[in-house]
Amino acid sequence: MRSFLKMTGLLLLVLSACQRNLYNTPKTRAVSIKRLIPPEGMAYIPSGTFLYKMFSDDNKSEERTVSVSAFFIDKTEVNNKQYQAFVNWVADSVAVTDYLHDDSFFLPATGATVGADNKEIRLIDWSKINKISPLWKKAPLEVKEKLAPMMTMINGARVPNPALLKYRFYYVRMDGINNNEYVADSVEVYPHEAVWSADFPNAQMTVMDANYFTNKIYQYNPVVGVSWKQARAYADWRGTQLKLMIKNNPNLRNFKLSFSLPTEAQWEFAAEAKNNPDDTIDRTVKTTIDKKTGKEQLSLNFKQGEGMYASDGSTFTLPVTSYTPNAFGIYNMAGNVSEWTLDAFSPSASQLVNDLNPALLYDATSKDAPLMRRKVVRGGSWKDNGEMLNTDTRSYEDQDAVHSYIGFRCVMAAFELTGEQVKTRKYTKK
């Protein structure tokens, strides 16, 4: 009996200890983080509340108070060099899968199949491909000869046929009714290089058409000629590259991390760079004082008046780290190029969305009416006048439209940093 009581007491002691581990929450949080290190090239934007203000297409102002949770955002617009890496990755994928048929470029077979015909899944060995990427440019002559059918001539250069460079990805389609359906999309990724001449008829723009995306002199300028769907495809691809980078990191591989285009609210909050809701915003065009001459100089890339493009230091776009970043460390949220956001356009969007992480999402198909295909564009560009540079000014374009003055940047959700006010304290009467 005494032995039974002793064992029972030991069991209760163990159970009590287990329960303490289960029910005694930490005094602050399971993971205490004072500072989040952003991914390379991104800035951390803390959660906050702000006056969500926007102008509709009839120039009427709408506003309401909303909150956004923490997120990371690119410090700069995506540049030509970054987007070229995406294009080359797609080109290498097409080359290996559809033209080379060389087993040495694939990982060992796993036996997994897909589709009704049970087609075997073969994964590309990117550790080998990356050593000679892009294949169409750097591979040995015997490999290039096999890739000849996928090549074409553009602007006097032999390059992969843009019609073949398609990126396939899956996403949850948002249509306002069924918001849980996974669908596949296939997007041509090569930018439309002739947008300069298309945007400016009766102007000499052929040099920009022929050089802007491919010439190294422009490699750090923002990529243009990219549609909303192409920008979204790039964001998805960037997420897949991140997963490959962290798959062997035990601290990160269990997190579900992905990139996307910023919502209107995220873009506006990051552009205003307010530390608290009571901060005022300088909505005027920024200028700086030259230390050598003492003269005031423009510090944004925009059109200063009729025919006046060059007074800010450049006629067209500028490298993405030009001028001074805002308080969050983000460059060119006004000027340089306007930027795609994730939201569908509605004149009354601020009244339709939630007051927490507001976003108006609608994935239009090619069969939808033009009204349903409109996506929000934020921030003025190099060809816009000063009034377009305000953080609450918005416009829209069809999701398949491309222009020489629209680019994009990416965001990624971040974890909240808890404030001092949430710390557990002993109750005391006032």
Helix, strand, coil share (%) of the chain residues, nearest 5: 30, 20, 50
Quickly list DSSP for 206-255. HHHHHHTTTSGGGTTSBP-S--HHHHHHHHHHHHHHHHHHHTT-TTTTTS
Minimal CA–CA distance to 281: which of 327, 215, 238? 327
Name the β-bridge partners of 356: 67
Asked if residue 357 lies in contact with residue 265, where contact means CB atoms within 8 angstroms, the answer is yes
Show the low-confidence residues of the chain (pLDDT under 50).
Answer: 4, 8, 11-12, 14-15, 28-32
| Domain coordinates in residue numbering, the chain | 49-413
Name the β-bridge partners of 299: none
- Please compute, for residue 208, the number of CA atoms within 13 A of its CA located in the half-sphere on the CB side: 21
Asked if residue 267 lies in contact with residue 378, where contact means CB atoms within 8 angstroms, the answer is yes
Report the pLDDT value the prediction gives residue 309, as an integer from 0 to 100: 92
Instruction: Judge if the upstream peptide bond of residue 140 is cis by omega within 30 degrees of 0.
Output: no
Report the pLDDT value the prediction gives residue 30, as an integer from 0 to 100: 42
Written as one letter, the residue type at 70 is A
Asked if residue 195 lies in contact with residue 224, where contact means CB atoms within 8 angstroms, the answer is yes
The dihedral built from the CA positions of residue 164, 167, 173 and 174, taken in this order, carries a sign that is negative
pTM as predicted: 0.87
First to last CA, the chain: 54
Judged by DSSP in three states, 56 sits in coil
Place domain 49-413 in its CATH homologous superfamily.
Answer: paralog of FGE (formylglycine-generating enzyme) (3.90.1580.10)
Report the pLDDT value the prediction gives residue 14, as an integer from 0 to 100: 46
Name the β-bridge partners of 157: 154
Structure tokens at 401: 């439209």
C-alpha Rg value of the chain to the nearest Å: 26
